[in-house]
Chains A and B, each alone.
Chain A
Amino acid sequence: QLAVKSNISLQQKQHLVEDELELSAVRHRPEGLEQLEAQTRFSRKELQILYRGFKNECPSGVVNEETFKDIYSQFFPQGDASTYAHFLFNAFDTDHNGSVSFEDFVMGLSILLRGTVQEKLNWAFNLYDINKDGYITKEEMLDIMKAIYDMMGKCTYPVLKEETPRQHVEVFFQKMDKNKDGVVTIDEFIDCCQNDENIMRSMHLFENVL
Chain B
Amino acid sequence: MAAGVAAWLPFARAAAIGWMPVATAPMPVPPQEKRRGKDGLIVLNVSGTKFQTWRDTLERYPDTLLGSTERDFFFHEDSNEYFFDRDPDIFRHILNFYRTGKLHYPRQECISAYDEELSFFGIIPEIIGDCCYEEYKDRRRENQERIQDDEEADPGSELVSPDLSFRESMWRAFENPHTSTMALVFYYVTGFFIAVSVLANVAETVPCGAAPNRAKEMSCGERYALAFFCLDTACVMIFTVEYLLRLLAAPSRYRFVKSVMSIIDVVAIMPYYIGLVMTDNEDVSGAFVTLRVFRVFRIFKFSRHSAGLRILGYTLKSCASELGFLLFSLTMAIIIFATVMFYAEKGSSASKFTSIPAAFWYTIVTMTTLGYGDMVPKTIMGKIFGSICSLSGVLVIALPVPVIVSNFSRIYHQSQRAEKRRAQKKTRLARIHAVKSGGANAYLQYKRSRLLIGPDQEVTVETLMFLWVLHVFVLLAELRPNSLLHAEDWLKPPHNHEFLDEKTFETNLREVTLVKQVSRSSSISSASSPHGFTSCCSRRKRKTFNVPNSNMSVGLQDSIQELSTIQIRERPLTNSRSSLNAKFEETVPLNCEQPYITAAVISMPTPPGTTPEGDDSASSTDYSQANIVRVSAL
Instruction: Report how far A168 CA is from B29 CA in the complex, Å.
Output: 23
Q: Decide: B18 and A144 in contact? CB cutoff 8 A.
A: yes
Chain A: CB-nearest residue to B13: A209
Chain A 44-82 near chain B by CB (<8 Å), digits 1 or 0: 000001101110110000000000000110110000000
**Would you call A38 an interface residue if the criterion is a C-beta within 8 Å of the partner chain's C-beta atoms?**
no
Q: Decide: A209 and B5 in contact? CB cutoff 8 A.
A: no
Chain A contacts of B15 at CB under 8 A? Answer: 72, 88, 112
Known: A72-B12, A87-B18, A123-B17. A52 touches B26 (CB 8 A): no
Instruction: Report how far A50 CA is from B1 CA in the complex, Å.
Output: 18
Chain B contacts of A172 at CB under 8 A? Answer: 21-22
Q: Decide: A124 and B20 in contact? CB cutoff 8 A.
A: yes
Q: Decide: B5 and A74 in contact? CB cutoff 8 A.
A: yes
Chain A contacts of B11 at CB under 8 A? Answer: 105, 109
Shortest A99–chain B CB gap in Å is: 16
Chain A contacts of B4 at CB under 8 A? Answer: 53, 56-57
Chain A 121-151 near chain B by CB (<8 Å), digits 1 or 0: 1011001000000000000000011001000
**Would you call B10 an interface residue if the criterion is a C-beta within 8 Å of the partner chain's C-beta atoms?**
yes
Known: A124-B20, A124-B21. A113 touches B14 (CB 8 A): yes
Q: Decide: B22 and A113 in contact? CB cutoff 8 A.
A: no
Among B11, B22, B25, B29: residue with most chain A CB under 10 A: B11
Chain B contacts of A166 at CB under 8 A? Answer: none
Q: Decide: B5 and A57 in contact? CB cutoff 8 A.
A: yes
Chain A contacts of B9 at CB under 8 A? Answer: 75
**Would you call B607 an interface residue if the criterion is a C-beta within 8 Å of the partner chain's C-beta atoms?**
no
Chain A contacts of B465 at CB under 8 A? Answer: none
Q: Decide: A109 and B14 in contact? CB cutoff 8 A.
A: yes
**Would you call B252 an interface residue if the criterion is a C-beta within 8 Å of the partner chain's C-beta atoms?**
no
Q: Decide: A198 and B17 in contact? CB cutoff 8 A.
A: no
Q: Decide: B19 and A205 in contact? CB cutoff 8 A.
A: no
**Would you call B39 an interface residue if the criterion is a C-beta within 8 Å of the partner chain's C-beta atoms?**
yes
Chain B 39-69 near chain A by CB (<8 Å), digits 1 or 0: 1000000000000000000000000000000
**Would you call B372 an interface residue if the criterion is a C-beta within 8 Å of the partner chain's C-beta atoms?**
no
Known: A123-B17, A209-B30. A198 touches B22 (CB 8 A): no
Size category of the binding interface on chain B: 20 to 34
Q: Decide: A53 and B8 in contact? CB cutoff 8 A.
A: yes
Interface positions of A from 184 to 210, Cβ below 8 Å from B? 189, 193, 198-199, 201-203, 205-206, 208-210
**Would you call B576 an interface residue if the criterion is a C-beta within 8 Å of the partner chain's C-beta atoms?**
no
Chain B: CB-nearest residue to A125: B21
Pick the contact of A205 from B8, B24, B25, B29 — CB < 8 Å? B29
Q: Is the interface of A mostly helix, strand, loop or mixed?
A: helix
Q: Decide: A57 and B8 in contact? CB cutoff 8 A.
A: yes
**Would you call A178 an interface residue if the criterion is a C-beta within 8 Å of the partner chain's C-beta atoms?**
no
Q: Decide: B8 and A109 in contact? CB cutoff 8 A.
A: no
Chain B contacts of A50 at CB under 8 A? Answer: 7, 10
Instruction: Report how far A203 CA is from B570 CA in the complex, Å.
Output: 103
Instruction: Report how far A49 CA is from B8 CA in the complex, Å.
Output: 10
Q: Decide: A74 and B2 in contact? CB cutoff 8 A.
A: yes
Instruction: Report how far A56 CA is from B26 CA in the complex, Å.
Output: 34
Chain B contacts of A198 at CB under 8 A? Answer: 23-26
Chain B: CB-nearest residue to A46: B10
Q: Decide: B30 and A145 in contact? CB cutoff 8 A.
A: no
Pick the contact of A49 from B5, B26, B32, B39 — CB < 8 Å? B39
Known: A49-B7, A71-B5, A109-B11. A168 touches B22 (CB 8 A): yes
Instruction: Report how far A209 CA is from B25 CA in the complex, Å.
Output: 20
Chain A contacts of B32 at CB under 8 A? Answer: 208
Chain A 157-192 near chain B by CB (<8 Å), digits 1 or 0: 000000000001001100000000000000001000
Pick the contact of A203 from B5, B6, B8, B20 — CB < 8 Å? B20
Chain B: CB-nearest residue to A171: B24
Instruction: Report how far A109 CA is from B17 CA in the complex, Å.
Output: 11
Chain A contacts of B7 at CB under 8 A? Answer: 49-50, 52-54, 56-57
**Would you call A120 an interface residue if the criterion is a C-beta within 8 Å of the partner chain's C-beta atoms?**
yes
Q: Decide: A209 and B18 in contact? CB cutoff 8 A.
A: no
Chain B: CB-nearest residue to A108: B14
**Would you call B27 an interface residue if the criterion is a C-beta within 8 Å of the partner chain's C-beta atoms?**
yes
The list of the 4 closest CB pairs from A to B, nearest first, reads A53-B7, A112-B14, A202-B27, A56-B4
Where the two chains meet, the residues of B that have a C-beta atom closer than 8 Å to any C-beta of A are 1-2, 4-27, 29-30, 32, 39
Q: List 9 A-B contacts (CB under 8 A).
A: A74-B2, A74-B5, A75-B12, A112-B15, A123-B17, A144-B18, A171-B24, A202-B20, A209-B30
* Additional A-B contacts beyond A198-B23, A198-B26 (20; CB < 8 A): A53-B4, A53-B7, A54-B8, A56-B7, A57-B7, A72-B12, A74-B2, A74-B5, A108-B14, A109-B10, A112-B15, A113-B14, A120-B17, A123-B17, A124-B20, A124-B21, A127-B17, A171-B24, A199-B23, A201-B27
